[in-house]
Amino acid sequence: MQFTALASPVFEKSIMDYHKRDDVDATVQNPYPEKSVEYYLYLKNWVDTVQWHLEDIIRDTEIDPVKALEIKRRIDRSNQERTDLVEMIDSYFLEKYRNIRPSEEATLNTESPAWAVDRLSILALKIYHMRKEVERHDAEGNHNEVCRNKLNILLEQRQDLSSAIDRLLEDIESGKKYMKVYKQMKMYNDPDLNPVLYGKK
């Protein structure tokens, strides 16, 4: 089975499970075995889904500023968690392909497999929500038609991205490409690297 054929249904299940309650404070109930790649994919998409809705909430023009700051802090934590999960998924790929010897002509991809999978997770969310807009009965004018056209583009984009990810993994497995993973080293959350934070010491 190609990897995206495994990942996409996991993302879709996460999105559907979230929307059973549609609550950013709902407890994640991951149905997959702990530490399996499916477990990390589900959790990754759950984080993305919660953050999607937090981003909606914070754009309310009448939101209380204190509440908005609280949500912004939560989004910052979510971004860090998202990065951590991407690195866990890359660790899965590194382990899977650790015995592959790249050819002398092997090249490096512009991004690691897991960061491409990250984009596939976000795309699953875009497709879900755009489909909801297509189905809206209270929309005015040509809203539904415009959104249907956008949905078709998103579906095509998912197909193209899935093909590219699967091809990248095939190339890594055959030695045509090789993986090299850099930790993100985010600086703004680190009290030793953010000058605003270490300036308060």
Name residue, tokens 């866990």: 88
Cβ atoms of 38 and 10 within 8 Å: the answer is yes
**Gap between the Cα atoms of 112 and 89, Å rounded:** 10
Rounded-to-integer distance, Cα 78 and Cα 21, Å: 19
CA distances (Å), origin 49, targets 13, 16, 28, 30, 177 = 11, 10, 11, 14, 31
- pLDDT tens, the chain, 201 aa long: 899 999 999 999 999 999 999 999 999 999 999 999 999 999 999 999 999 999 999 999 999 999 999 999 999 999 999 999 999 999 999 999 999 999 999 999 999 999 999 999 999 999 999 999 999 999 888 999 999 999 999 999 999 999 999 999 999 999 999 998 887 666 776 778 778 767 776
CB-based contact 86:114 (threshold 8 Å): yes
In order, the DSSP letters of 136-184 are -SS--TTHHHHHHHHHHHHHHHHHHHHHHHHHHHHHHHHTSEE------
Check if the beta carbon of residue 137 is closer than 8 Å to that of residue 116.
no
Q: What are phi and psi of 107, to 5 degrees?
A: -120, 165
Question: What is the helix (H) or strand (E) element at residue 107, kind and residue range?
Answer: strand 107-108
